[in-house]
A and B are shown apart, each in its own frame.
Chain A
Amino acid sequence: MKGWIAIGVVAIAVAGCSSQESSSGETAEGDRPVLTASVPKDEMASASPGKKVFYRWCVECHGDGPRYPGTASLAVKYGKDMPAPLEQRKDLTPESVALFVRQGVSVMPPFRKTEITDAELAALGAYLSHNEEAVAPSAK
């Protein structure tokens, strides 16, 4: 609570430090695909169902790069203990994925069944737990 009052009273929190960040001349933020439409078409066409769900619903916050909110948050939360981008995690299970997708956490809201159906959620869980069979390019 105290931390919040400090932020409330001074619009920018107190953090004494000798250097001042410049507000112009940003360094490059790192390459990032802008949206699913930026993922090469043939890559998406041959992507597994779970990967398609990830790229449709998750990548905008959980992609691999410094400017993804979910990834940036997890990087702080886990530090060196775990990779921040979800696709690089080795510990996710379909159950844990389902939990976060249907309950949300912090400012991540839940996703409804009209957004990610149960079947799509299962596919997503398989994808993120690295437990799906390879999908042939000719499959959907």
Chain B
Amino acid sequence: MRTPPGISPATFASALQEFANVVGKEWVFTSDEDLDLYRDAYSPLRGEPDERKAAGAVAPRTVEEVQGVVRVANKYRIPLYTISTGRNLGYGGSAPAYSGSVVVDLKRMTQIIEVSDSQHYAIVEPGVSYFDLFNYVKEKGLKVWLDVPDPGWGSLVGNALDHGVGHTASRFRNHFDAHCGMEVVLANGEIMRTGMGALPNSKTWATYKMGYGPIVDGLFSQSNFGIVTKMGIWLMPEPEAFLQARVMVPAYGDLHELVEIQKYVENLGLAPGAPELGSPLLGAAGDTKSLVDIFFKGPPKFDKQHMDLIAGSKLGYSAQLEQYGRDNKIPYWTLSTTFYGPRKVVEAQWEALQDIVSARIKGARFESTGALTDRYEAARKGLIYPQNLGIPNLDFFAMGTSAGGNQPTRGHLFFSPVIPQSAEAILEANRVFSKAVNDIPLLQKVPMFNLRPFSLPSPFFERSYMFVLGFPVLDDPEINKATVAAFRELIRIGADHGWAEYRTSPIFQDQVMGVYSYNDNALLRFHEAIKDVIDPNGILSPGRYGIWPKHLREAAR
């Protein structure tokens, strides 16, 4: 039997018995076979001594059971690690940050507490997946849309708490932003409700975000200060129509104006859909649907002349390539976005965007789906990425399969620092990371995608871009180790330029938290001060996002 570090087998056995008294024996897992289910399926450290592994797992069903589990953990000083649906693949999955923790698996908490299609919100438990809520809404005929991330089996709660993002209108894409109110089980076993939930009999828990006094919700995201057991989330009213459109521009230099326009129209609210940049000329699939098409069908096939021109480009540019694009009507850059609302409004918004672009970018061309009203048909016909229409699926998981003749993998990691929203920043990030790969042997040794010939960022958050590089996780431990080392180097390089991650797997959390170091790591020290007060025994998800309880802090350094 495994035990958490520093806990004797006898103590652990007592704790396990008491966990069983709370959740029932069948929901306490200790066998090696069962605990294999609490390994990170995509870990690059699989089979290595530093792979994160659980000593046990418990699966409560109700908030009372969560409280019971937490009290037992406190009594025996058992480190816990909370997962929702446990599908945070690429970011740690169902494994703990601290090996030897007991995973608290909330997948059994599947209650959809309420969905209101007059106030446009849902209140859900952590085990509710996007699929679950979508099916519920569809079955009940409720007139609301979800905003979903690429994979639909994730938890609305877990995704929001890990700063996940989606694909519809800007105000819904930032999932944490779109949340409203939480219920949290604290380390002492007490239940706290935030926002208007702190007011008994309030009917505005899921509609007024701020409550009264300091807004503490953020403390429970990307952290280990409490176990969230309910969360409200704002939903988009079902629009009458939608329209997906694409702006196509011919010159490399047009990128600047295109980005400036994108920011203007999104921040104004004129074009709130996910503003995805692409480059057909460079073969860089900008929008997610084109990327997923590549997963299924393999990369687009270009003729030799085109490929030679791409290979000869520097930072994605060559005059000959640009001319080739003009001659063959292949745009250098594209910007695609989706509009939602009444038919005449979405058509007018698109028309306005075209006018703005035409006035500022010579030779711009446009295409669109026209206003449509049946999102299932649009998804089924492959016209629009279903996620842009709030429809969850698992299409993205074609990545890393053998589909399309691509090379199969065992998982992936994404390096995704935040960069400013400008063409200048896109070029600088490309320049810096491209040069790094050129100069640093460590970075040349590992398979990496989305850097060359040119990397276009992900636009899912407002006002910033995520510059995303991907790494496959393979069956070769030596390559995987090199990938981890390369990732660490990229974190360092990014930090030197003022770019750092929005989210990572526990493997990198200490390092990344370490680069957010202003004033002698004041932010981390603040987190630690909070941790020491509200979780003095350090039982909740030790190490998550670099926050270690006092008794483990020295060792973590």
Report which A residues bind B (CB closer than 8 A): 1, 3-5, 7-21, 23-24, 26-29, 31-32, 34-38, 60-61, 66-67, 69-70, 72-77, 102-104, 106-115
CA distance A9 to B393 in the complex (A): 30
User: Is B395 part of the binding interface, using a Cβ–Cβ cutoff of 8 Å?
Assistant: yes
User: At the interface, yes or no: B114 with Cβ under 8 Å from chain A?
Assistant: no
Taking a contact as CB atoms under 8 Å apart, the answer to whether B397 and A102 are in contact is no
Task: Verify A15–B298 contact, CB threshold 8 A.
Answer: yes
Cα distance A76–B405 when bound, in Å? 7
Assess the A28–B393 pair: CB atoms within 8 A: no
- Bound-complex Cα distance A29 to B376 (A): 13
Task: Tell me the minimal C-beta distance from A79 to chain B in angstroms.
Answer: 11
Closest 5 CB pairs of A and B: A4-B447, A73-B401, A109-B41, A72-B403, A114-B107
Q: Which residues of A contact B127 (CB under 8 A)?
A: 114
> 29 A-B pairs, CB-CB below 8 angstroms?
A8-B448, A8-B449, A10-B310, A12-B302, A15-B298, A16-B307, A18-B303, A20-B303, A21-B301, A26-B382, A28-B382, A29-B380, A29-B381, A31-B380, A35-B134, A35-B392, A37-B135, A60-B131, A70-B397, A73-B403, A104-B41, A107-B410, A109-B87, A110-B36, A112-B37, A112-B105, A113-B29, A113-B59, A114-B105
A37 to chain B, nearest CB (A): 4
Over the window 447-464 of chain B, the binary record of Cβ atoms lying under 8 Å from chain A Cβ atoms (1 yes, 0 no) is: 111111111000000000
B115 at the binding interface (Cβ < 8 Å): no
Contact of A7 with B447 at beta-carbon distance under 8 Å, contacts A106-B408, A107-B411 already known: yes
Interface residues of B (CB under 8 A from A): 27, 29, 33-34, 36-38, 41-42, 59, 85-87, 89, 93-94, 105, 107-108, 127, 131, 134-135, 138-139, 152-153, 246, 280, 282-285, 290, 293-304, 306-307, 310-311, 367, 376, 379-383, 386, 391-405, 407-412, 446-455, 472, 474, 476, 479
Q: Are A26 and B94 in contact (CB under 8 A)?
A: no
Are the CB atoms of A10 and B452 closer together than 8 Å?
yes
Whether the Cβ atoms of A20 and B401 lie closer than 8 Å is no
Q: Which residues does chain A contribute within 8 Å of B284, judged by CB atoms?
A: 11-12
| B453 partner, pick from A10, A16, A76, beta carbons under 8 A | A10
A107 and B139 form a contact (CB under 8 A): no
Q: List residues of chain A with CB within 8 A of the CB of B108.
A: 114
What residues on B are CB-neighbors of A37 within 8 Å?
134-135, 138-139
* A4: chain B residues within 8 A (beta carbon): 407, 447, 472, 474
B105 neighbours in A (Cβ, 8 Å): 112, 114
| B-chain residues with CB within 8 Å of residue A113 when the two chains form the complex | 29, 34, 37, 59
CA distance A1 to B303 in the complex (A): 25
Contacting pair A61 B397 (CB below 8 A): yes
Contact A34 B393 (CB under 8 A): yes
Establish whether residues A11 and B394, one from each chain, have CB atoms under 8 Å apart when the complex forms.
Answer: no
Partner of A17 from the list B29, B153, B303, B474 (CB cut-off 8 Å) is: B303
Select one of B107, B294, B399 contacting A107, CB under 8 A.
Answer: B399
Closest to A62 in B: B394
Q: Give Cα A39–Cα B307 distance, bound, in whole angstroms.
A: 45
- Report the Cα distance A73→B94, complex, angstroms: 24
B296 touches A5 (CB 8 A): no
B300 contact from A3, A9, A23, A106, Cβ within 8 A: A23
In-complex Cβ contact of A11 among B383, B399, B412, B451 (8 A): B451
Smallest CB-CB separation from B135: which chain A residue? A37
Q: Of A13, A31, A107, which contacts B299 at CB under 8 A? A: A13
CB contacts (< 8 Å) of B404 on chain A: these are 72, 76
Q: Which residues of A contact B396 (CB under 8 A)?
A: 69
10 more contacts with CB within 8 A, not counting A28-B380, A106-B410, are A12-B294, A21-B300, A23-B290, A35-B135, A35-B393, A60-B153, A61-B397, A69-B397, A102-B37, A107-B399
List of B residues within 8 angstroms of A102 by Cβ = 33, 36-37
Give the Cβ gap from A84 to chain B, nearest Cβ, in Å: 10
Q: What residues of chain A lie closer than 8 Å to B93, measured between beta carbons?
A: 109
**Contact in complex: B407, A3 (CB < 8 Å):** yes
In the assembled complex, which residues on chain B have CB atoms less than 8 Å from the CB atom of A1? 447, 476, 479
Contact between chains at A23 and B452 (CB < 8 Å): no
A74 to B285, CA, bound (A): 24
User: Is the Cβ of B41 less than 8 Å from the Cβ of A60?
Assistant: no
- The smallest C-beta distance from B556 to any residue of chain A, in angstroms, reads 28
Q: How far is the CB of A31 from chain B (nearest CB, A)?
A: 6
Q: Is the CB of A8 within 8 A of B367?
A: no
A111 proximity list for chain B (CB < 8 A): 37
Contact B135 A66 (CB under 8 A): no
Cβ–Cβ < 8 Å partners of A61 in chain B: 394, 397
Q: How long is the Cα–Cα vector from A4 to B449 in the complex, in angstroms?
A: 9
Nearest chain A CB to B87's CB is how many angstroms away? 7
Instruction: Specify the chain B residue showing the minimal Cβ separation from A28.
Output: B381
Given contacts A16-B303, A69-B403, A114-B107, contact A60 B393 (CB under 8 A): yes
Residues of A within 8 A of B303 (CB): 16-18, 20
Closest to A20 in B: B302
Q: Provide the bound-state CA to CA distance between A36 and B298, in Å.
A: 28
- The residue in chain A whose Cβ has the minimal distance to the Cβ of B330 is A20
Is the CB–CB distance between B452 and A109 below 8 Å?
A: no
Contacts of A17 in B (CB 8 A): 301-303
Least CB distance from A44 to B in Å reads 11
Q: How far is the CA of A89 from the CA of B151 in the complex (A)?
A: 26
- By a CB distance below 8 angstroms, the chain A residues around B391 are 34-35
Question: How many Å lie between the Cα of A23 and that of B479 in the bound state?
Answer: 34
Beta-carbon contact of A12 and B300 below 8 Å: yes
CA distance A66 to B376 in the complex (A): 17
**Residue of B whose beta carbon sits closest to that of A104:** B41
Given A1-B479, A10-B311, A103-B36, the answer on whether A20 and B306 have CB atoms closer than 8 Å is yes
Q: A106 — which chain B residues lie within 8 A by C-beta?
A: 400-402, 408-410
Is B86's CB under 8 angstroms from A112's CB?
yes
Inter-chain contacts of B405 with A (CB < 8 A): 76
Measured in the bound complex, the distance between the Cα atoms of B407 and A89 in whole Å is 24
Whether B380 and A77, one on each chain, are in contact in the complex, defined by CB atoms closer than 8 angstroms, is no
User: Quick one: which of B280, B310, B474 contacts A23, CB cutoff 8 A?
Assistant: B280
Bound complex: CA of A1 vs CA of B453, how far in Å?
19
Q: From A75, which residue of chain B is reached at the shortest CB distance?
A: B403
Complex contact A69–B395 (CB within 8 A): yes
